[in-house]
Every structure is written in structure tokens, then in C-alpha cells.
A and B are shown apart, each in its own frame.
Chain A
């Protein structure tokens, strides 16, 4: 393998990994803090992408405004779902949570079909990010993909700084460790739940917006990526932001290198990676024993 191929695959891997991290971080925190498996988290990803398509393409809003409005709308949607459907599920069996949120997936996918049809929709790249950049003398790389990797990394660092370095982050981590104890220490966990869930929804919507020009905007786009985001969460260990970050990078790199090393087994590689890690460490890389 040539050095240039390796570099491009690393860039692809990091970019995909950061996209996954944006989704997986919300997932892992929701699970850690609220104890809820939310399969419908992928719906936020999809709705974010569709709203930008609606606002920017069909209504002609400027892109930054469309981005902001979409994220905000998804946070509102998340709050609605959290209050109406997920709150009654706190403390119930994982099985019920899987089923209810699977039902939500069916509902959101079908709503997307009703509103926007089954066709694949286009998504624009902001003007200043169009074109390619030359890396060294032989490689050109699309500027947008490069920007994606950078933005993803920045988000990851910011999130890590919040979770690891602030008082709020400390409460979130403590909540993921032992919810009842945090509550007993006099901290009102209700608003913390809502905040974590809203943050997760916003990050997923943001990921959907960023991914829209690369992946196709279509109903069901969330279902494909949510399973891979779950793989990331399980590899990293549930409730751990650091684990989600490492897991996302691993999955991204395995995916991009798998595509050129084992073309006919490329989709299988990340599941094999997860199977290996889970057999080796049944609680993920950074999870604590149940």
C-alpha cells in the first residue's frame, strides 16, 4: 500500500469516526445517565439532514441559518419525545425500551416518506468549503471532508472538556455511574436528564447536517448509522465519553482500511472488531463491570 493511500484512508477513517462520535456520544450519555436504550436516536440524525434540505433547498434560507434552525428544531423534537415517550420508560426493562424506540423508528421513517418522498435528496456544501486541497505533491482531498474531520475533532474536544472539566460534567459522569446516589446527594436529576438528552439530540442532528452532502438524505438513513453508533458505544463501554471517542476512531479506521484490504468483507470488519472486543472485555474498553 502506498503512503498516499494510507494517508487518504486515515483521513477518511478519522472523518467517519468523528461523525460516528457525534452520534455515539449522545447515545452513550443517554444510556449512562438515564439508563435508556434509544434506538430512535438515529431519527434525530435523519431529521436534522432533512430539515436542512427543506429549509436551504426548498425554501432558500441561507445555510448557517438553516443549520441553526434545524438543530434547534431537533432539540425541541427531542424534548417532546423525552417527555412523552421516554420518561415513562426510565427504570423499565431494556426490552420494552428497545421495542418502543424501534416503534419510533418506524414512525419517523414513514413520516419522512410522507413529507419528502422515498427519493434520495441532494444537500449543498457551503460555498467556501467546495473544491479540494492538495496534501503534499500527489494527493488531493475534498476540502469539505477535511473540514468535517476538523469540526468533528473540535466537537469531541469541547465535549470532553465539558464532561471532564466542569462541575456540570462531573454531575453527568456521576449520574452515569450511580443515578440514585447523585439524586440522594441533593442534585435534581430531572433537568440533568433533559439537558443530556437535548445535547445528544443536538449533536446527532448536527452530525446529520454535516453528513448530508456525503451520505444520501433518504428515509432510513438513521437506521443504518444508529446500529454502527451502537457498535461504537459498546466497544467504548457504555456511559464513557472517552470510550465513545476511541471506539469511534477505531470503527472509522477499521471501516476505511477494511474497504481496501478486504473489499468483499468490508461491512463485516467492524462487527468482527466489536465481537472481538466484547469477547475480550465484556464491558467494552472503558466500561465498568455491571
Chain B
């Protein structure tokens, strides 16, 4: 890692560790939610930004893990996250593997719609069946623990778990996108046919990417359940997938800071607009239209084009 990123990361982690020490429970819960969406957006960016797989069904994996955690706790009394965290992430990964195997046969707009269709199937499965709590969802009433001792339903416990998970996700992805595997994904994004001609098993790499993305979305879904205790169908809905896609695009796809910035900005925009007026959707809608029409690479793209401009400004005759 280069020094600037390392310093930035250290400062971010220190800052993150310090936040609960202010003792403001609302702030801690709010930052926990921000971090969860950062993981979620990062997981989608791996698909969209690095491999060119535009999925409009990514919330399915988030939802599968949240539902799995809630079901394990209510039906089986499994409240230790040492067991339910890996199990729910594996459930999301299996869902990603199956959906990936089927949808990756398609490309372009068909892929967007195919991922949407499978996500909608899962949405209606949980929405229409009493086993999954129907449209009310499942409320996990019991508290969650780490190794039966540390209370993960307390603001402190789940906050530090989320910070660790976010840092872990970022660092993993940082090295992954610079590894040969990550380079191949980016190769597929820029020219799939050439990668195939070079002898790479493109389908396998795409599936691996989809699998890892689904797994990380599952991690976010698990943490989300620890935060809210409620798994309801709205987290599986296509609008939830569209929301996280917006985070990736607003921030700038194909960068790791983009989704983080995007998640922060979209959540804050929605929260602030909702505080301002009950018609917040109007504000968010206009913002999304304007930002997408004006900027081509999201906010990170805007930043780098400004940098580029200032770098070459003096060179003009």
C-alpha cells in the first residue's frame, strides 16, 4: 500500500474507534449504518466497477444473510455470531453461486434484468410465505453474543464488529483488485473478447467475482440484522438494489473510495432531505438525475478530472 492510503486508512480507523467514546448512542448507531452500507456498496463495486457486471439484484444476497441470521436466532435459538455470521455469509454465497451460474449466461441489459428477476423471486418468496414472516418480516427478539460473552446487540459491540468488518473488506478488496485475479477481472471489464482470446476462462472469473460480491453483501446483511433486529421484505426489493447501485455510481465505480464516499453521501442526502421535508424523494430524485447527467465517473471521477486539469493547467502555452 502506498503511504498516503495507509495514512488515510490509519486516520479513518482511529477516528472510527474514537466515535463511541463521545457516548452519543444515536451517532454510534448512525455510523454503524453508514459502515454497513459502505461494505454493501464496496461489494457491488467489485461486480460493477471491476468486472463490468451490472447487477440490479444485489440486495438479494444482503437479504438472504439477514433473513438467515434472523431465522437461525428465532427458529433454532442460535444467537452466537461465531456460528450465525459464517452460516449467513455462506447462505448468501450459495445464493450468489446459483444465481450467478444461471444469470451469467446472459450479457448487457439481459443480465441486468435476469439478476433483477432472481432477486424479485426471492423477494416474493419471503413476502408471500408465513415461514419468512410475510410482509411483516421477522423480528429477532433475542440478543446476539460473540463467543457467548460479548454482547453484540449493544451499541459498542456491534459497532466495533462493523468497523472491523469494514476495514477488513476494504483491505481485502484493496489487495484483491491489485492481484492477478483483480487484473483479470478488470481485463474482462474492458474487453471480454480479448481476455477470452488470451485463453482466460472468462465465465469462471465472472462467477468467482459474483460469488465474492455476494458473500460480502451477505456480510453487510448480517451486520444489518445485528443493528436493526428486523429482516423485512423491503431489504430484498429491487429499489434497495437500485439504491446501492446509486451509491456506487454517485461515488465513482471502479475505485475503492468511490463506493465509500457514495454510501456516505446518499445516506446523508436522504437523511437530511427527509429531515427537511416529507417529500424528500423529490430532492433525492433531482440530485440523482443531475449528478448522473453531469458527471461521467461519479464524484471520484470529478475529483480526478479536476486534478488532471490543475496538473496540466500550467503547461498550456
Residues of chain A having any CB pair with chain B under 8 Å = 31, 37, 85, 88-89, 94-96, 98-100, 102-107, 109-111, 113-114, 223, 227, 230-231, 233-234, 238, 264-268, 271-272, 274-275, 278-279, 282-284, 287, 290
B288 in contact with A94 (CB, 8 Å): no
B292 in contact with A99 (CB, 8 Å): yes
Q: A231-B113, A265-B128, A268-B128 are in contact. Are A96 and B249 (CB under 8 A)?
A: yes
B103, B116, B281 — most chain A CB neighbours (10 Å): B281
- Bound Cα distance from A85 to B54, whole angstroms: 22
- Of B13-21, B104-112, B195-203, the stretch lying at the interface with chain A is B104-112
User: What's the nearest-Cβ distance from chain B to residue A48, in Å?
Assistant: 20
A271 in contact with B118 (CB, 8 Å): yes
A88: chain B residues within 8 A (beta carbon): 293
B54, B112, B116, B121 — most chain A CB neighbours (10 Å): B121
A103 in contact with B285 (CB, 8 Å): yes
B242 in contact with A98 (CB, 8 Å): yes
- Bound Cα distance from A109 to B242, whole angstroms: 16
A268 in contact with B125 (CB, 8 Å): yes
Contact code string B290-311 (vs A, CB < 8 Å = 1, else 0): 0011000000000000000000
- Bound Cα distance from A88 to B289, whole angstroms: 12
Question: Is B286 among interface residues, defined by CB-CB distance under 8 A?
Answer: yes
Contact code string B79-95 (vs A, CB < 8 Å = 1, else 0): 00000000000000000
Listed by A's residue number, 7 A-B pairs whose Cβ atoms lie within 8 Å are A99-B249, A103-B284, A106-B288, A234-B114, A274-B117, A278-B103, A282-B107
B54 in contact with A283 (CB, 8 Å): no
Q: A94-B108, A95-B54, A283-B110 are in contact. Are A102 and B128 (CB under 8 A)?
A: no
A107 in contact with B54 (CB, 8 Å): no
- Bound Cα distance from A284 to B107, whole angstroms: 12
Contact code string B45-63 (vs A, CB < 8 Å = 1, else 0): 0001000001010000000
User: What's the nearest-Cβ distance from chain B to residue A130, in Å?
Assistant: 33
B289: chain A residues within 8 A (beta carbon): 85, 100, 103-104, 107
User: What's the nearest-Cβ distance from chain A to residue B295, in Å?
Assistant: 10
B124 in contact with A267 (CB, 8 Å): yes
- Bound Cα distance from A21 to B279, whole angstroms: 32
B48: chain A residues within 8 A (beta carbon): 95
Q: A96-B249, A99-B249, A231-B117 are in contact. Are A104 and B285 (CB under 8 A)?
A: yes
Residues of chain B having any CB pair with chain A under 8 Å = 48, 54, 56, 102-103, 105-110, 112-114, 116-118, 120-121, 124-125, 127-129, 238-239, 242, 245-246, 249, 253, 279, 281-282, 284-289, 292-293
A95 in contact with B249 (CB, 8 Å): yes
B120: chain A residues within 8 A (beta carbon): 227, 271
- Bound Cα distance from A227 to B106, whole angstroms: 18
Extra contacts besides A103-B286, A223-B239 (14): CB < 8 Å: A94-B112, A96-B292, A99-B292, A100-B288, A106-B284, A106-B285, A107-B285, A230-B116, A231-B113, A234-B110, A238-B109, A278-B114, A279-B105, A284-B110
A275 in contact with B114 (CB, 8 Å): yes
B288 in contact with A85 (CB, 8 Å): no
Q: Which residue of B lies closest to A92 (CB)?
A: B296
A274: chain B residues within 8 A (beta carbon): 113-114, 117
- Bound Cα distance from A98 to B292, whole angstroms: 10
B125: chain A residues within 8 A (beta carbon): 265, 268
A264 in contact with B128 (CB, 8 Å): yes
Q: A114-B279, A227-B238 are in contact. Are A290 and B107 (CB under 8 A)?
A: yes
Q: A107-B289, A234-B110, A234-B113 are in contact. Are A272 and B105 (CB under 8 A)?
A: no
A107: chain B residues within 8 A (beta carbon): 281-282, 285-286, 289
Q: Which residue of B lies closest to A289 (CB)?
A: B107
B105: chain A residues within 8 A (beta carbon): 278-279, 282
Q: Which residue of B lies closest to A31 (CB)?
A: B109
B108: chain A residues within 8 A (beta carbon): 94, 290
Which 8 pairs across A and B sit closest by C-beta, in order of nearness?
A: A106-B285, A103-B288, A107-B285, A103-B289, A267-B124, A110-B282, A110-B281, A271-B121
A230 in contact with B113 (CB, 8 Å): yes
Contact of A109 among B106, B281, B286, B293 (CB under 8 A): B281
A234: chain B residues within 8 A (beta carbon): 109-110, 113-114, 117
B112 in contact with A272 (CB, 8 Å): no
- Bound Cα distance from A95 to B115, whole angstroms: 14
- Bound Cα distance from A115 to B250, whole angstroms: 29
A98, A109, A265 — most chain B CB neighbours (10 Å): A98
Contact of A103 among B102, B121, B279, B292 (CB under 8 A): B292
Q: A106-B285, A110-B279, A278-B117 are in contact. Are A100 and B128 (CB under 8 A)?
A: no
Q: Which residue of A lies closest to B242 (CB)?
A: A102
A287: chain B residues within 8 A (beta carbon): 110
A103: chain B residues within 8 A (beta carbon): 284-289, 292
User: What's the nearest-Cβ distance from chain B to residue A105, in Å?
Assistant: 7
User: What's the nearest-Cβ distance from chain A to residue B249, in Å?
Assistant: 5
Q: A98-B242, A114-B279 are in contact. Are A227 and B118 (CB under 8 A)?
A: no
Contact of B282 among A95, A96, A100, A106 (CB under 8 A): A106
Q: Which residue of A lies closest to B288 (CB)?
A: A103
- Bound Cα distance from A109 to B292, whole angstroms: 19
B121: chain A residues within 8 A (beta carbon): 268, 271-272, 275
B293 in contact with A268 (CB, 8 Å): no
- Bound Cα distance from A271 to B238, whole angstroms: 13
B118: chain A residues within 8 A (beta carbon): 271, 275
Contact of B281 among A89, A106, A268, A275 (CB under 8 A): A106
